Structure 1
Amino acid sequence: MLAKRLQVLTQLNNFLKNKRVLITGIKGFVGPYLAEEILNLNGEVYGIDLPGEIGIHPLKKIIENVEIFEGNLEEKNFVSKVIKKVKPDFIFHLAAKSSTFESFLKPIDFLKANCIGTLNLLETLRKTETSTTFIFAGSSDEYGIVISSYKQYKKLKKKYGEIIPRPNKIPEFPVNEDNPLRPLSPYALTKIYGDFLTRQYSNFTKIKGIVARSFNHEGAGRGKGFVSRDIINQVILCKREGINKIKAGNIMAMRDWSHVKDIVKGYILIAEKGENGSVYNLGSGRTNSVLTFILLSLECAGFKIFEIKSKKYLKKKIENPLEERKINIYGFKFDSFNIDELVMKEKINFDIEDEGVIIETQKGKIEILIDEKRLRPSDAPILLCDNTKIKKLGFRINFTLKDIIKEMLEYYQTISLE
């Protein structure tokens, strides 16, 4: 097994050695991790990003030693100048406005940044006849509504009207690359545009275009405004200052959480072995609720959790919500927790009518307040990645959800939460 892993690493080193790699959005959350991995594999890294300093990030020093071209991808002349100078063998297009919530407030800004920016990159490559491998960072948000049961389908039809495209099968889990796309936000729509554009350009140009639809990925350096970072900050305050309230939005949303380091390795694997014009899902193949993320974060911060219950309906409660479970659902097997099994089987639900969720711990009660301001206008109930396709290329997951949370807690406890 060890010999095989060393052989794969050697192949990757040969694959990127002395190759010119351009990363757009290099100052963001994922960019520094991708840059580090490529540099370790002997590649030459260049970056594109807007003017300004990189935010709080554990790999900030790595980016400071990379040549970065500062400018806006919406400007054709800027894009052309960078492409002609770098002559990239590979482009990892990470740059994007990515806050789903914000996209409802500023849809035109998202259209310009995410759609026009991607088009300018691909058009420049076409006009310069550059033979480049172009990896587009898509998103699981492109899938939007994914139907888990006939019961859920009826609820969704009542809420949204007719579901288009109509399901060919129920359940539609786990989510594979052929699942219908039912975007639920302006952000998701911009990602679908870039996804289709990348594959279209791979058909009639010298560009090798491949799409990576990544599911939720987290780790140290995750920016403000994302649910994982928001939860971690509040849990740190519970531990540090004795605060006993946590605000959250849809705590029942089930998400496929991966560590950013696993996702980055997936991007590189796709660049090496991916098929031109193809789509690859990047995710862990497990799903956990936002509520579980909160409970695990508290547990990792030293709060032993005995029970959770509705603030309004006191008989609505779950003992040992983090008791480990082996879940076998939709043909996928993965390690999970009592609370997630109940959510997925639709045996428990906490929403705004509960007026909050009380968590009983050895240090006293902590209350989760469901904040209407944090609820999205529309939200996919469950996302579970079918990563079978990329696993055939050699992809594997190395980090558990608890690993991710522990790392984030450790990192953000050492910095200001302002």
Structure 2
Amino acid sequence: MKVAVIGTGYVGLTTAVSLAMNGHQVIGIDVVAKKIEQLQRGHSPIFEPGLEEALQHVLTEKTVAFTTDIREATEAQIIYLCVGTPEAEDGEADLTYVLAAVEQIRQLHERAPAERIIVIKSTVPVGTGDKVAELLRTCEHLHVASNPEFLREGSALQDALHPSRIVIGTDDEVAAEKLRELYAGVDVPWVQTTRANAELIKYAANAFLATRISFMNELARLSAVIGTDVSTIAEGIGLDSRIGPQFLRAGLGYGGSCFPKDTIALLQVAKKNGVRLSILEQVREVNRTQPEWFLSQLKAKLPELAGMRIALLGLSFKPDTDDIREAPSLKVIDYLQKEGAQITAYDPVAVESVQALYPDVTYTQDPYDAFAGADAAVLVTEWHACIDLDWAKVKANMNSPLLFDGRNAWPAKELQERGFFYLGVGKSGG
């Protein structure tokens, strides 16, 4: 099928490449000319394992192309909206880019009428799909559906190629049939429902996963006081088939482009409709305060942080991405700088982005250099390069062997046996 994807960010580019890999003829559209030029050369503007190689493959196969001109999408049977919906000042999702893209589609359709399916993949407030359908009501043979994405940064391409489920929001059988044709061969559970239900499914999924994380982080605070090990607690409850092991790891809190933005957007939807989601309010509060709570334990060990050298291992919000949006590392840097600490940081791919925000931090290209002369070290992101280490070399590099594991990913027992002071999240130090 001929498909257009408007927006070539994280979701749009992954969507375009995965559809092209599945044999569809795809054109990616973006208003940023520099980004389109980069994509045409086969270079991905985002770091995502396997994505650039896949992009180069589909460019060679000529199943994908990129342009700034939506008129080149005239023959598209399906048009995906994958533009950003950033958080507005009041916490609501900003639909400026969505509505601008809808207007572009309307103008395209007026110039070249044809039967087309408009698919909203951007994460949007409940009711947006219906609003778009109303805006396009005079466009004959133009159908509107919701098809939310459930991509995980770091494994987005695999998630797009092998989704856990496909959710389609439409009561239009023409749209549903075309989307079934598009996804033919993808053998996963299929949920067809209303546009509003599909939109809420996306928000609810992210809000629930965020809730699991914050629940474990609250348990970690309790464990730190009563001497239990939150990692063992997570293992024990995760073996319950009603719960499962995913998203039960205590740490420094969630970040990225989805959970922070989507939880506040859902709270705003509830507020506008006179409903209070008190659990979700607390989820956000726990996440907001988690880095400071953990670092307070570092300060208890080193009361005078002024002038101390602290090594930070990992800066992106999670491994296998260069995304630093709402990354816990930024809160960690803020806290330590306010205390007057000197920071040396390492990350395999995210240094450039963080350096633009914090030029006075010392950045290294090797994890061992980050430990050099450090009075303490904090693991912020569990990259393999940050956890698979020669601990004898680490200890020899450090001024004082104090390790604070913000992801419970370092080998606690081994480190204690080697003479390190080790403290994880929701674990007793020693």
Q: Which TM-score tier does this pair reach, normalised by the shorter chain?
A: 0.3 to 0.5
Task: Kindly indicate which of the two structures has a greater share of residues assigned to strand.
Answer: 1
TM-score normalised by structure 1 residue count: 0.34
Q: Quick one: higher RCO (CA 8 Å, sep 6+), 1 or 2?
A: 1
